[in-house]
Structure 1
């Protein structure tokens, strides 16, 4: 049994797309060689047979043989193309998996190292009560950061496989965005300015949508997190909600580093990063905006970005279908 398993492992390379491609080429070459050799050896007999046939039958027979050869060649070329495309796709998936592993591993190490450092400091040193509370608060923040990273990876995988099973309910979009702004203001309010506003309305359900509150909350958190990362100290981050007919539009704007117009559509791709000359390296898993795009797609909405160029800030717009009690 063990010998069979070892033999199967050794022969596994035969099933690799590149191996199949090479074998297909060899088989095609052998087939052509056998075909030509057979024709040469039987050429005299074939010529004698052709001379006995009527002219019309001869020409039609040649066309049949030519058509059969073309069909056979077409099938072989299609098979080789499918194998080539499958190999390219497999290669891209492998690279993506390596990128996921590398990015997530790096992002996990940072909060884990901080949590360990704070825990060791509290355990091994005689820390005053006030300092102890500071370390515990920092440990809690790093734990929350770790939880958000894990959630982002899980939600990204779930949305990509179309297996999101969380129920959609009526959600107050304005309230959700306001809560996200307040959380970020508590975390980064000393080094960034946060400004949230909305137009007053007499309609109670003006800012309601049907959606997944957990996913929508992550959508706004990721957009705000992105704004914080690409805005310098003292920068301004603004947000608001407006009603546009049957849609509700949410905008999150910053006055940070901005994006070149040619890159605006690329930023929602997984692991896409814009190369910058800045010495400051922006940390992240490369999944944030990709997850945002998937969440908006899940809600049948629109997500787009706008920037006038480098160092001119970036604006993100989310449009979702407005809830109507008449539906």
Structure 2
């Protein structure tokens, strides 16, 4: 609420400043035109020193240029301030979301531990509680790691363990792991296509990409989840098309969803939580692999398609990939 009020006041100040500049400009033009008309009518009857000439226009022209320049600078300052305010608002939302994401598993862990300490819990139930504690601990660890890795990405310190993989093998294996991790039933997803081409990639980084896409598909699906993944490759590009039957994304948000801290609010699913880092992280990883990611979707329609394209590894073009590899590595089959 405070952020919205601050933004309103800054907009109000900007509008008032522009009205002042425009009023001054209008008065200036009025003064100049009035004098010009007077001199045109009575110029022959007044002293020659008062007759209008080109030199009299120079201060006006210079002042007009200065006025326009100041208006332009004011607009730039306002634009920069507006961007900073939006970033601050996104950051505040991020802090709030992260706090909730940390608090939920911690509260759950505390509840299980208190139950184990204060009650005589059967052995079978103890195993179940311990399993849930481990799950929540993994969730916490994953969140902390994602924040640390985002920080490392922005400082260009994140290391990707690049190796050469046969794309179809590695991607299918990682997708199966991710679907199992998020408990997606076998009948709810399909992996189609054969991609025998080779790619240079970090296995853990690819896993992060698919984890985030599947996590979003699960969160933003209203009906029974259906995910379809299509793999293909040509001479130069390896392509993954990841489609789900979740809520659509409006065209105006297609680029915004890859921004840091940005989250979509949908009234149909108001309780979806997250940090706003998932797709930003996906975009940065894909970019670090020399690829690009795009989205096809429409608000109000079912389904979203994420398309990831990565360069195919060619032994004849090792120089292009040299920056990815720190040492000579053998071709590794995806496992």
Shared fold (TM-score, shorter chain, > 0.5): yes
- The answer on whether the counterparts of 1:181 and 1:194 sit within 8 Å (CA) in structure 2 is no
Deviation at 1:221, TM superposition (A): 0.8
Matches within 5 A, 1:1-327: 51=47, 59-159=53-153, 161=154, 163-167=156-160, 169-172=162-165, 173-174=167-168, 175-189=170-184, 193-199=188-194, 201=196, 206-209=197-200, 211-231=201-221, 235-254=225-244, 256-259=245-248, 262=251, 265=254, 267-269=257-259, 270-277=261-268, 281-307=271-297, 312-327=302-317
Q: Is the 8 A contact 2:292 2:308 kept in 1?
A: yes
- Rounded to whole Å, the distance in 2 between the matches of 1:261 and 1:95 is 21
RMSD: 4.0
Cα deviations by residue, 1:116-138 (Å, 9 ceiling, x for unpaired): 22222223322233322222221
Distance 1:199 1:21 in 2: 57
Bigger RCO of structures 1 and 2 (CA < 8 A, at least 6 apart): 2
**Distance (Å, rounded) in 2 between the aligned partners of 1:320 and 1:200:** 12
Of 167-176 and 117-126, the range deviating more from structure 2: 167-176
Runs of 4+ in 1 over 6 A off after TM superposition: none
**CA offsets per residue over residues 235-271 of structure 1, 9 Å max, x none?**
33333432132111113233x3341564672543442
| 1:220 Cα deviation after fit | 1.1
Q: What per-residue deviation string (whole Å, max 9, x for no partner) do you get for residues 194-250 of structure 1?
A: 43354274xxxx2422x4443322111100111222346853333343213211111
State the Cα deviation string for residues 101-126 of structure 1 (Å, max 9, x = none): 11111111111111222222223322
- In the alignment, structure 2 segments of 5+ residues that lack a partner are 1-9, 26-45, 318-335
Distance across 1 between alignment mates of 2:164 and 2:103: 35
Give the aligned length.
Answer: 285
TM-score (normalizing by structure 2)? 0.69
TM-score normalised according to structure 1 size: 0.70
CA distance in 2, matches of 1:245, 1:309: 35
Gaps of 5+ in 1: 1-16, 33-49
2:266 counterpart SS class: coil
The secondary structure found in structure 1 opposite 2:316 is coil
CA distance in 2, matches of 1:127, 1:311: 48
Is residue 238–residue 310 contact of structure 2 (8 Å, CA) maintained in 1? yes
